Amino acid sequence: MFKPLPPQQLLHDLLRYDGETGKFYWRKSVKYDMPEGCEAGCVSGNGYVRINIRGYGQLAAHRLAWVYNHGALDSDQEIDHIDNDPSNNRMSNLRLATSSQQKMNKRVQSNNRSGLKGAYYHAAHKGKKWRSQIRVEGRYVFLGYFHTAEEAHAAYGAAAAHYYGEFARVA
């Protein structure tokens, strides 16, 4: 699923990782003539920090941070940014997650009329009420119709806490 990652020892040889800031710095660069101590990587268009390592290509810094600190990472394992900021690669902001858990931690979709996660305007229903639903293990669970978007959102929040636990994001 993901590109193969370099071994932990190679990362330690090439880079220094600051777990408090989440930034990498070059110890030595085998591809570029970079002086020691320069910050490694750049922010891509989608907000993720990418670092180019010879023989491996451009890699996501959050995946490198995990390997740097914890060793190997299976190619199908994912790393979740707890605060949903793809450039915040502090160790305290990273955790292992399944693909399903990653999806639970998404922000509200921009096409949502209410701006509240889990609250959808349903004009076809009597009284033009708000509908709430949550996706669980690939299927939608209907939570009910509500008079306000806030009530629908509250129902979503309770269901998210129940189904998603620590990965629940209601904002």
In 2-118, the DSSP E strands lie at 15-18, 23-26, 42-43, 49-53, 57-60, 78-81, 94-97
Q: Specify the pLDDT at position 112.
A: 66
Domain presence at residue 44: yes
pTM above 0.75, yes or no: no
> How many domains does one find in the chain?
2
pLDDT, tens digit only, all 171 positions of the chain:
678 899 999 999 999 999 999 999 998 665 556 677 889 999 999 999 999 998 899 999 999 999 999 998 877 789 999 998 999 999 999 999 887 777 766 665 545 677 888 888 887 777 778 999 888 888 899 999 999 999 999 999 899 889 888 888 777
Within this chain, do residues 81 and 149 fall inside the same structural domain, yes or no? no
Q: Cβ atoms within 10 A of the Cβ of 109, count?
A: 8
User: In the β-sheet with 57-60, what is the strand arrangement from edge to edge?
Assistant: 42-43, 49-53, 57-60
What's the CA gap between 154 and 99, in Å, rounded?
A: 25
78 lies in some domain: yes
- Per the structure, the complete domain to which residue 158 belongs is given by 108-167
Tell me the one-letter amino acid at 72: A
- Does residue 76 sit within a domain? yes
Which pLDDT does position 17 carry in this prediction?
97
Burial class (CB in 10 A: 0-12, 13-18, 19+), 35: exposed
- Residue 11's pLDDT is 94
Query: What is the C-alpha separation between 171 and 150, in angstroms, rounded?
Result: 12
Q: What is the pLDDT of residue 43?
A: 94
Query: End of a domain among 97, 132, 147?
Result: 97
Provide the pLDDT for residue 68: 97
The secondary structure of 85-119 as a DSSP string is: -TT---GGGEEEE-HHHHHHTPPPPTT-SSSSTTE
* CATH number of the domain to which 61 belongs: 3.90.75.20
Q: Are residues 92 and 112 in the same domain?
A: no
